[in-house]
Amino acid sequence: MKTDDLITALAADAQSVSMPIGRALALAVAGGAVGAAILFAIMLGMRPDVATAVTSLRFLFKFVVTLSLLASALGLVWNLARPGAIPVGWLLALAGVPALLAIGSVAEMLTVPPADWGQRLTGHNSFMCLILIPTLSAIPFAALLLALRQGAPSHPMLTGAVAGLVAAGIGATLYASHCPDDSPFFVATWYVIASAFMAMLGAAIGEHFLRW
Amino acid sequence: MAQLNREEEWAALMQAAIGGDAAAYRRLLESLSHSLRAATRRGFAQFGAAMNDVEDVVQETLLAIHLKRHTWDQNQPLGPWVRAIARHKLIDALRRRGRRIEVPIESVLDFLPAEEQRSDLDRQDAERLIKELNGRQQTIVRSISVEGKSIRDVAENLGMNEGAVRVALHRGLKALAAIHRRGDEE
């Protein structure tokens, strides 16, 4: 086939244009978040003392962290879905999340006596945290990867990893309202491990699944 | 300046194409194919790859532009988007040919050259690619591309409706892109 012949065929297929990638991503994230919220409502629900918890800085700080993760990972994946260079600004925004956790942990060190640090870190149910964040992330993770397959990421592995972080951001935000452990020590350990697991899973899948 | 004007023209043509204007789309793809050919040749030359399958890479890049055109943000210029796709496909193609890409490839694709570079090689291999399509897709892609028939004529000849021919054509093009890509893993 000559290239001119291929062009004839492509022009004949002019009407086949797909949904703009931005809309596909928005639908995937919104749909995935709704799915995760339904799963959360059925499986877990918010913790019983949520009405008093919202007055606690530690409780609110969990959402500052998880929503920062969600927002920066979303901004990054939005750009990574299209061909081009890595958007450095968004990458820096994502790096702000561990910085937030470091600040929170220092504040915790200054306000809590060292004898209590160990108990704050292990919390009540760290194991459940490791299981439940990835579980709640599963639906948005799958939806986002399917939408990204319609995209054209220049960096499939990184894009998959960031998709894992978006999903972890949704899962962790939901889980934070259930989990009784509010210490920044707890969040900086177990939430981070659960999110890193999702990122690694995303990288491993993305490397092949998101190639084009 | 010429580069800028040309890219503005490309963006206008792509906008029309996404609106369904096949004539504008054809003009765009023809113009892009000349630039892509020149850029691919330079890329191959830089990495010492044999020139005989430059056309393969040009075709693979055109297919990618076609199948991924919904990832172009219409508020952004078209040139950088095209260059990013061309770079991606060129790197893939060079890796497939055993070249290690260590020096930045950016230099060859800083801009897509305006020089007219017409296709002078019609690879036997391209025919092999079409032959890998399944029966109906192969007939439809071949009739429309190589034989230059209209969708209506193909539909009449095959006793199908036009919508079904369009769907089969689109799937055939997707399959062609996948066959190109499969070369990566071999």
pLDDT at B113 over 80: no
Q: Which residues of A touch B (CB under 8 A)?
A: 1-22, 81-85, 150-152, 154, 211-212
Best-predicted range by mean pLDDT (A111-120, A165-174, B67-76, B91-100): A165-174
Task: ipTM value, please give it.
Answer: 0.86
**Can you give the pTM of this predicted structure?**
0.89
Tell me whether B120 touches chain A (CB under 8 Å).
no
Contacts with B105 (C-beta within 8 Å, 6 or more apart), sequence order: B43, B46, B87, B90, B91, B94
pLDDT at A168 over 50: yes
- B163-185: b (≥16 Cβ within 10 Å) or e: eebbebbbbbbbbbbebbbebee
The tens digit of pLDDT for each residue in B120-178 reads 555 555 667 888 888 888 999 988 988 888 898 999 989 999 899 999 999 999 999 99
Count CA atoms within 13 Å of residue A61 on its CB side. 21
List the structure tokens of A73.
Answer: 């990972």
In terms of Cα–Cα distance, which of B56, B58, B74 is closest to B112?
A: B58
In terms of Cα–Cα distance, which of A118, A203, A132 is closest to A165?
A: A203
DSSP annotation string for A125-166: THHHHHHHHHHHHHHHHHHHHHHHHTS--S-HHHHHHHHHHH
Query: For residue A62, what pLDDT is reported?
Result: 96
How far, in Å, CA of A206 to CA of A161, rounded? 7
The tens digit of pLDDT for each residue in B43-84 reads 888 888 878 788 889 999 999 999 999 999 988 889 999 999
- What is the mean pLDDT of the segment spanning A114-136? 92
> Which residues from chain A sit within 8 angstroms of residue B33, using beta carbons?
3, 7
Contact B126 A1 (CB under 8 A): yes
In terms of Cα–Cα distance, which of B8, B57, B11 is closest to A6?
A: B57
In terms of Cα–Cα distance, which of B15, B37, B40, B39 is closest to B27?
A: B15
pLDDT at B119 over 70: no
The tens digit of pLDDT for each residue in A58-68 reads 999 999 999 99
Query: For residue B102, what pLDDT is reported?
Result: 58
| Backbone Cα Rg of chain B | 17
Please say whether the dihedral angle defined by the alpha carbons of residues B37, B5, B66 and A212, taken in this order, is positive or negative.
Answer: positive
Where residue B186 falls among pLDDT bands split at 50, 70, 90? very low
The tens digit of pLDDT for each residue in A189-205 reads 999 999 999 999 999 99
pLDDT at B25 over 60: yes
> Strand, helix or coil at B38?
helix
The tens digit of pLDDT for each residue in A138-167 reads 999 999 999 999 999 999 999 999 999 999
Tell me whether B91 touches chain A (CB under 8 Å).
no
List the structure tokens of B110.
Answer: 């800083």
- What is the mean pLDDT of the segment spanning A72-93? 96
Question: A154 to chain B nearest CA, in Å?
Answer: 7
pLDDT at B118 over 60: no
Mutate to test the interface with A, among B66, B75, B147 (most CBs of A within 10 A): B66
pLDDT at B103 over 60: no
CB pairs under 8 A between A and B: 118
Best-predicted range by mean pLDDT (A75-79, B5-9, B128-132): A75-79
Please state, for a pLDDT cut of 90, what percent of chain A lies above it. Answer: 84
> Which residues from chain A sit within 8 angstroms of residue B144, using beta carbons?
8-9, 12
Query: For residue B105, what pLDDT is reported?
Result: 58
> Strand, helix or coil at B142?
helix
Minimal-distance CA residue of chain A relative to B67: A17
- What is the mean pLDDT of the segment spanning B96-100? 75
Mutual angle of helices A156-176 and A192-209, in 10-degree steps: 150
